[in-house]
Structure 1
């Protein structure tokens, strides 16, 4: 039976962190475009690549190849302090294209205000809230950027434009665009590896964030009514 859940990450380390929580016996699953996903009894997990374009292309390929009931954009992220600290879990109430638009005399103009599409996708509110509560997650807008924030000034600008934002990553909006085009609901779940702000690689805690990602999906697996991510072979 085809798993009903599609999980899309950027890179293999994130994919593997999710798969570790779902099954000890994943199988390789080829997708169009010479992409390879890992399949567990209840989920297909794809590392689609970095950035919104790669995420959208990979998600669209997977959705065109088989029916799915839910798509989850998952991985690690930067967190907006003090709300989202390193190691915490984030669930999106809105998946926002934070830098898709134009610069004008008075500042940034989102693409939606330009009349060229949407600037945000809304996950199913009841489902996303329940998932956030189950994971003990921070719940708020998750921003998708094409360039990772590297200064305090940029972080402050994003918070001013998107009050309540809990984190930023590079793929969620691309995943959501593809899911919406296929009329499949979408969630975004991330764990925090670093604070959004001045770029300081020494402060990043990527292994800790990947462990937290595994733990988040382990909690979901133990509550199969949420996403149907239980492994029937365990």
Structure 2
């Protein structure tokens, strides 16, 4: 019997290197052209091998690169990480959250008066696996590997980030979201279809409000995100 402990295999997914830059520098990540992503990066700790997949922003890039990564090798856990906008004052800028439910918020049709979500269209089955009532759920939220308990929130995924009052009001009414991103639902869908354990971790960089970059704090969000991820990675166990 082989009693040697195997390294924990972690897939860390982000839209941009900027969102993970402090972490990549801390662990001395190196580029590996054979790994998936734009670029593909990796680093190791005594207990863990981390493959960092930079997908590019948006749903299409995320779905392709995450699917590619999951087909190349087995991962113990996949974690999507990045910044997000908050729809609620309960989540202040700099807060770290775990997104436990995801939904596409701009997929559907329009009539002469308003937007029709895809879930309300007659040909769509909102309970076709892996959906439940049109939503994607993490079946194991609050992963025990996260020693720090994070708020479990509802996310929406969009092609166009909310920046107009009318758009924000509509999305609040239809989906009651806590946060929004441009990649989360694609990550959820891919991991659920590939039957891989996963988690989505976001740091709040701004509020969902009429677009005003002067009120954003992206550096704070990135630093807080990378501090959390660093603590998480450093305490991961080796695998029997």
TM bucket, shorter chain:
0.7 to 0.9
**Aligned CA-pair RMSD:** 2.7
* TM-score, length-scaled by structure 2: 0.80
Task: Describe the shift of the 1:33–1:135 C-alpha distance in structure 2 as closer, same or farther (beyond 3 A).
Answer: closer
Choose 106-115 or 60-69, whichever is displaced more: 106-115
* Matched length: 222
Gaps spanning 5+ residues in structure 1: where? 230-234
1:151 matched to 2:164? The reply is: yes
Query: Could you say which structure has the larger radius of gyration?
Result: 2
1:193 matched to 2:205? The reply is: yes
**CA offsets 1:79-116 (integer angstroms, 9 cap, x no match):** 12312111011211202212222235785443344316
Kept in 1, the 8 Å contact 2:36–2:69? The answer is: no
Gaps spanning 5+ residues in structure 2: where? 1-5
Kept in 1, the 8 Å contact 2:157–2:180? The answer is: yes
Task: Describe the shift of the 1:217–1:33 C-alpha distance in structure 2 as closer, same or farther (beyond 3 A).
Answer: closer
* TM-score, length-scaled by structure 1: 0.82
Taking the TM superposition and a 5 Å limit, the aligned residue runs for 1:203-214 are 203-214=215-226
Q: Give how far 1:130 is off.
A: 4.9
Distance 1:183 1:221 in 2: 22
Match of 2:31 among 18, 28, 33: 28
SS of corresponding position for 1:124: coil
Distance 2:213 2:153 in 1: 25
Distance 2:214 2:97 in 1: 22
**CA offsets 1:9-65 (integer angstroms, 9 cap, x no match):** 101111324435xx5232322346774321122221111001011111111111121
Task: Describe the shift of the 1:129–1:142 C-alpha distance in structure 2 as closer, same or farther (beyond 3 A).
Answer: farther
Which is richer in helix? 1
- The answer for the alignment partner of 1:128 in structure 2 is 142
Task: Describe the shift of the 1:149–1:43 C-alpha distance in structure 2 as closer, same or farther (beyond 3 A).
Answer: same
- The answer for the alignment partner of 1:202 in structure 2 is 214
Task: Describe the shift of the 1:53–1:34 C-alpha distance in structure 2 as closer, same or farther (beyond 3 A).
Answer: closer
